[in-house]
Amino acid sequence: MSTATTHHDDHHGDHPTGLARWLFSTNHKEIGSMYLIFSLLMFFVGGAMALVIRAELFAPGLQLVNPEFFNQMTTMHALVMIFGAVMPAFVGLANWMVPMMIGAPDMALPRMNNWSFWILPFAFTLLLATLFMPSGAPASGWTLYPPLSLQGGNSLAFVILAIHLMGISSIMGAINIIATILNMRAPGMTLLRMPLFVWTWLITAFLLIAVMPVLAGAVTMLLTDRFFGTSFFNAAGGGDPVLYQHIFWFFGHPEVYIMILPAFGIVSEIIPTFSRKPLFGYTSMVYATASIAFLSFIVWAHHMFTVGMPLGAMLFFMYATMIIAVPTGIKIFNWIATMWRGSMSFETPMLFALGFVVLFTIGGLSGVMLAIVPANFQYHDTYFVVAHFHYVLVTGAVYAIMAAVYYWLPKWTGYMYDEMLGKIHFWWSTIWVNVLFFPQHYLGLAGMPRRIPDYAVQFAEFNMISSIGGFMFGFGQLLFAYIIWKCVRGGEKATAQVWDGARGLEWTVPSPAPLHTFDTPPLVEDNVAVHRDKLT
């Protein structure tokens, strides 16, 4: 077991205060906090856009916005939520927790860490500024498929530059995480003793480095097609519009797992803690994560079964996609086996983790349905797909992020959050998120295409239900912000251990975690420290 760490700030030189403290910070905890606050802000910006969409879809007919603006909202909602809310939240969690979980004093490359974060506000200023430009924000969907995306105005250049900046930020963050995990582990923290959150982030970081440049290449070709007369994607000039989709989804599918693998890691930390039992099948969890990461590179074309591919290609992508169900299933079975005959308690982090397991599984099962090509010809580009990916991203990724925030908030602030409010937040969210997204399965099956601002009257009832769910879920998230605010301000003092079932190095430092932890590396002597059985 590691020793609790002494902390003394004095030999770390000067500590700027006020704005300079945050602008120039190279501290993993401060940068982690900035990432998380930024992410929460973007969550509300993207959420507001979603509410515009749901308000317009509340009833048939156009009542609030014109179709062009509606398309801008769907596009911006996705870009903001993916690149602004979910990804930075995971990077923020990694910043805070990875060094503390492996017994490192900080990230390996602290100055680059500062830069990775501070790029983001500029990137999103560029992106959001397009809303106020004469030609408007991008309106061709977050996938930016040409030729449609090339029809827009000059704001496309801003969007592409913003995506480049986000990509640079992500790649630098990923490099930092890999360097930290591979070089800065405390003595005795072997790879197969690392907490699952660290493992999933290590694998995610490799995915990021592999695919963000692919996205950069795709959007750069869009840029030159639009502004410099090239014809990469212009059939009239000898190019191929489908080529873009192949490149985009070669990025896009691993990107989906970038947003879910760290969530798997979080849930794998929380379930053992509140089941008071070691994680079941640790090694198989690691291998399953690695398998999912590998498979993510060979399934991209399942996003585009309707573009007209050779039969052999469709069969390959169908089989490869179906195989993903195997490692994903292993994970779910392992989580349930962890709970089985545990001594469970149901604090807010556990509730969100359990909500994740149930609702992510629903999203995973509809994913299996989507893999079946002949049926995919019906499901593709309908609300069935919208329901599917919101189950895996909202009740999957976002739920895991919320679980993580509740789980580690006492460690960050030194105070317990308001448990009653946390539970209300969980139940409120869980009821309404299902009212929001479940009826969208029906809409898709009944024939409602996605990305339409208005619809035939037979879709009216389920759209109205979905919109009500959307507003209730959306406004309910203000409670989340309030709970965090309240916890930062004060509350019941948290102990170092915080949760009686928690294991791992982060729980050996005081709460709140001092600015500098593990100046002297702890010694990790057995597996128990990281939630594993003594014997393995």
Task: Restricting to residues 418-447, name those near another protein by CB under 8 A.
Answer: 438-439, 441-443, 445-447
Q: Is 170 in the site for another protein (CB under 8 A)?
A: no
What is the CB neighbour count within 10 angstroms for residue 141?
16
Site for another protein in 241-270 (CB under 8 A): 241-242
253 assigned to active site: yes
Structure tokens at 242: 């489908």
Q: Report the distance separating Cα 266 and Cα 90, nearest Å.
A: 10
- Among candidate residues 193, 303, 388, 441, the one labeled active-site is 303
Q: Is 63 in the site for another protein (CB under 8 A)?
A: yes
Instruction: Rule CB under 8 A: choose which of 134, 228, 229, 489 binds another protein.
Output: 134
Instruction: Rule CB under 8 A: choose which of 129, 325, 479, 523 binds another protein.
Output: 325
Q: Report the distance separating Cα 280 and Cα 282, nearest Å.
A: 6
- Contact 4/496 with Cβ under 8 angstroms? yes
Q: How far is the CB of 134 from another protein (least distance, A)?
A: 5
Q: Which of 136, 156, 131 is nearest to 146 (CA)?
A: 156
296 assigned to active site: no
Q: Is 378 in the site for another protein (CB under 8 A)?
A: yes
Q: Is 314 in the site for another protein (CB under 8 A)?
A: yes
Q: Report the distance separating Cα 335 and Cα 264, nearest Å.
A: 10
Instruction: Give 393's DSSP letter.
Output: I
Q: Which of 285, 297, 301, 389 is nearest to 338 (CA)?
A: 285
- Contact 115/170 with Cβ under 8 angstroms? no
516 assigned to active site: no
Q: How far is the CB of 258 from another protein (least distance, A)?
A: 24
String marking each residue 448-477 x if it binds another protein according to CB under 8 A: -xxxxxxxxx--x-x---------------
Contacts of residue 329, defined as CB under 8 A and 6 or more positions apart, other chains included, come to none
Q: Is 313 in the site for another protein (CB under 8 A)?
A: no
By CB under 8 A, which span of 108-116, 208-216, 294-302, 351-359 interacts with another protein?
351-359
Residue 212: phi and psi, rounded to 5, are -60, -40
In 3-state terms, what secondary structure has residue 165? helix
Q: How far is the CB of 85 from another protein (least distance, A)?
A: 22
Length, in residues, of the chain:
536
Q: Report the distance separating Cα 369 and Cα 115, nearest Å.
A: 42
- Among candidate residues 2, 30, 130, 142, the one labeled active-site is 142
Q: Is 380 in the site for another protein (CB under 8 A)?
A: yes
Q: Is 273 in the site for another protein (CB under 8 A)?
A: no
511 assigned to active site: no
- Among candidate residues 74, 130, 149, 170, the one labeled active-site is 170
Residue 342: phi and psi, rounded to 5, are -85, -175
- Contact 126/94 with Cβ under 8 angstroms? no
Q: Is 373 in the site for another protein (CB under 8 A)?
A: yes
Site for another protein in 66-95 (CB under 8 A): 66-68, 71
Identify which of residues 254 and 363 has a Cβ nearer to another protein in the complex: 363
Q: How far is the CB of 402 from another protein (least distance, A)?
A: 19
Q: Report the distance separating Cα 103 and Cα 88, nearest Å.
A: 23
Instruction: Rule CB under 8 A: choose which of 182, 191, 192, 315 binds another protein.
Output: 315
Supply the residues annotated as catalytic: 77, 106, 142, 169-170, 253, 255, 257, 268, 302-303, 328, 331, 450
